[in-house]
Amino acid sequence: MQYWLMKSEPDEVSIDDALAAPASTVAWFGVRNYQARNFMRDGMRVGDGVLFYHSSCAEPGIAGIAEVASTAYPDETQFDPKSKYYDPKSTRENPRWMLVDVRAKQKTRLITLPELRAMPELEDMQILKKGNRLSITPVSPSEWRCIIRHIK
């Protein structure tokens, strides 16, 4: 099993939205970074743990626990000219952008970025590195355990 941190703007999809969705499952659409896409396409497996992170909001941080619920498949928004995620260079025969479904398991207390930075065990966590802007990052098993301990 692997672990991931996946950022979502709560105005787009929040942990509450995911929990309210059918089967508590949402498609993780709109990723337009090749490295993040590759994590979904090549690295993620059904059952992998996910830290559901609210970003670009008043108080960013980990807001819930989820799991990867599907293998990667093409993100339909890339084909829709009306979507802000439309990619005219992508074709159905050769889609550029993939997504996975994510199943929300529980909402947690918000673990803020300053709180994460204050945990010495997380000093190497990718989201805390200067300049990190990826919407999806791997989380080590020890980082996962540390965060889970702090949620409870």
* Number of residues that make up the chain: 152
Domains parsed from the chain with CATH numbers: 3-151 (3.10.590.10)
Task: Provide the 10 A C-beta neighbour count for residue 100.
Answer: 26
- Mean of the pLDDT values across residues 1-29? 96
In this prediction, residue 63 carries a pLDDT of: 98
pTM above 0.75, yes or no: yes
Q: What's the whole-number average pLDDT of the chain?
A: 96
Amino acid at 124: D
Is residue 97 scored above 90 in pLDDT? yes
Is residue 137 scored above 90 in pLDDT? yes
CB of 51 closer than 8 Å to CB of 63: no
Say if residue 78 is exposed, middle or buried (CB neighbours under 10 Å; 0-12, 13-18, 19+).
buried
SS3 150: helix
DSSP character for 30? Answer: -
**What are the tens digits of pLDDT across the range 40-68?**
999 999 999 999 999 999 999 999 999 99
Give the Cα separation of 67 and 37 in Å (integer). Answer: 17
Shortest CA distance to 144 belongs to which of 117, 125, 118?
Answer: 125
The torsion region of residue 47 among left (phi > 0), alpha (psi -120 to 50) and beta comes to left
Is residue 152 scored above 80 in pLDDT? no
